[in-house]
Amino acid sequence: MRAEEIYKQFFTGGSAGGGFAEMFNSFSSSNNSQPAQLILHLTFMEAVKGCKKQVSVRVQGSCRRCMGSGGEPGTKEQTCPYCRGRGEEVIHTGLFHMKSTCRHCHGHGTIISVPCLQCHGTGTSTTTETVNVKVPAGVANGQMLRAPVGHSEAHITIKVEESKVFKREGFDVHTDAYLSFTQCILGGEARVPGLNGPINIKVPPGSQSHHRMRLSNRGIPRLDGAGKGDHYVHIRIKIPKKLTEQQTKLITDYARTETLVDGKVNGIETQEPVGRHRDQEDQWHTSRKKGYFRS
């Protein structure tokens, strides 16, 4: 007999009508229980600050009706007619005769006479249990938590809802601060949202749009406990759409004196300032004297 034929009889049953394949399948199926896979939805602030949640998990445990025996309460087990109570059977596979655990009573030597009406003789039942999950502060979208469930565990994937105010990058957060153009020109103070409440910031004079201010250690807690990330505030300038007559006059007067316009302002008859021409002429004459330009 060739080696492959021997393996075939051993692992596919051969002439024994099931053989080792059936035993291996029953062994793998009884030991292949996988952890429950769950998804836990959190708000942005719940993920930042941490929270406690309750989730429902369907778990497999002992049948409560038969207490895991598989037999209907009040009935007795019978001697296995296949192995006659020995719990073993002899498998003939060609040239080999091997003893193995009885496939009918699984080595117990007895079989259930009347199966349990609830679990149908399996001895197990599926129940729903409530599990308390402690979510650590700083958890991120897509991360997985493990929670014990009876003699097993549940794998919980975190899904974090996006914030309309904050944008997260690692353990840093970013927000926009919408300031008036007078605040940016003259400087002042502004109030911006923070993870632990509003934050007062100082606006330096001459602040430009899209300027970024860093607030150290005001970000998201690190999971390893090593402090927090930073909070970055991005300056955005609010331009008024409507002005009063007085405001329009003031802005118009300012526009007539402005020297940094590259182009034209509506309603203003502007000429390039004389000072700029004189500065350019002075620079040209100075450069000519130094020999930078030769005719």
Q: Residues 232-285: pLDDT tens digits?
A: 999 999 999 999 999 999 999 998 888 888 888 888 875 455 444 445 555 545
Say which residue the tokens 């105010």 belong to: 165
d(CA 282, CA 285): 5
Residue 183 has what pLDDT? 95
pLDDT-wise least confident of 3-17, 22-36, 210-224, 244-258: 3-17
| pTM of this structure | 0.65
Q: Residues 83-119: pLDDT tens digits?
A: 888 888 887 777 777 888 888 888 888 888 888 888 8
Share above pLDDT 70 across residues of the chain, in percent, rounded to a whole number: 80
Burial of 163 by CB count in 10 Å (0-12 exposed, 13-18 middle, 19+ buried)?
A: middle
Residue 281 has what pLDDT? 52
Give the pLDDT band of residue 41 (cuts 50, 70, 90): very high
d(CA 77, CA 99): 24
